[in-house]
Amino acid sequence: MSLKLYAHPFSSYSQKVLIALYENGTPFEFCPLSPDHPDVLARFHALWPLKRFPILVDDGRLVVEASIIIEHLGLHHPGPVRLLPEDAQAALEVRMLDRFFDNYVSTPQQKIVSDKLRAPAARDEQGVTEARAMLDTAYEWLDGYMAVRTWAVAESFSLADCAAAPFLFYADWTHAIGERFAHLRAYRRRLLARPSVMRVVNEARPYRELFPLGAPDRD
Ligand SMILES: N[C@@H](CCC(=O)N[C@@H](CS)C(=O)NCC(=O)O)C(=O)O
């Protein structure tokens, strides 16, 4: 098989790419990054010393960064669902929202979770406070933005929604999206009802005990 995805089912960035693959029914080999598969881990470390995942290997060519992997799939393995619109301006808006979800939802969410994994003496209280403030601001902005939209851009599911789904899923677990953000909460529910997203959520279900802040009993 030409496409090999090195990933973990519980990882948000892995889910971002899995959603894109499932949207288009793209065949690929899942290479699980887990201590149960030391051979896969060794291959991954040799391929990508930065050790951030997922990574894709397409017929020997390494592709890194979830957004770029999704763009690569659209270019070289297109399917019925176009995740980057053909129109250049619409594509720019998709990339803009994709950057928003990576930088202003996922990054602060990961900061809070990774801080919890540190030894108490090494924790960064101020950094966590700033991350929570960033999420509050991002939720506020997104709530207004989503008030008139179904999906993140141009009323069709795109790369930006592939990012939004796992990041809002975990962000809400990490720093609850308050009831006053009704449009954002409705968008999160719409994302979770999408079959590709439902599938990644279900595949990740067995790993919920790995969530460092304690997974809530919902979703
Ligand atoms: N910028 C990367 C971020 C990937 C990322 O942070 N992945 C997490 C898993 S969700 C990871 O590699 N964590 C391992 C670590 O931080 O050591 C992308 O867009 O793919």
Summarised one tens digit per residue, pLDDT across range 72-131 is 999 999 999 999 999 999 999 999 999 999 999 999 999 999 999 999 999 999 999 999
Hunting for tokens 């009993």 — which residue is that? Answer: 217
Q: Beta strands 3-7 and 55-58: pairing type?
A: antiparallel
6 CB within 6 A, ligand 1 = no
69 CB within 6 A, ligand 1 = no
Structural contact between residues 168 and 102, judged by C-beta atoms closer than 8 angstroms: no
The DSSP output letter for 86 is S
Tell me the β-bridge partners of 57.
Answer: 4, 62
The DSSP output letter for 206 is G
Structural contact between residues 191 and 161, judged by C-beta atoms closer than 8 angstroms: yes
Please give the average per-residue pLDDT across 147-170, as a whole number.
Answer: 96
Distance CA 194, CA 18 (A): 13
Distance CA 28, CA 6 (A): 10
- Using 50, 70 and 90 to split pLDDT, how confident is the model at 60? very high
69 CA closest ligand 1 atom index: 20
142 CB within 6 A, ligand 1 = no
Distance CA 205, CA 94 (A): 29
Percent of all residues in the chain with a pLDDT value above 70, rounded to a whole number: 100
pLDDT on residue 206: 97
pLDDT on residue 1: 56
- Least Cα distance to 171 among 134, 208, 197 occurs for 134
Nearest CA to ligand 1 atom 12: 52
165 CB within 6 A, ligand 1 = no
Please give the average per-residue pLDDT across 184-194, as a whole number.
Answer: 98
- Using 50, 70 and 90 to split pLDDT, how confident is the model at 155? confident
pLDDT on residue 217: 92
Quote the ligand 1 centre to 13 CA distance (angstroms): 6
Percent of all residues in the chain with a pLDDT value above 90, rounded to a whole number: 98
Cα distances (Å, whole numbers) of residue 40 to 4, 22, 51, 211, 212: 11, 22, 12, 23, 24
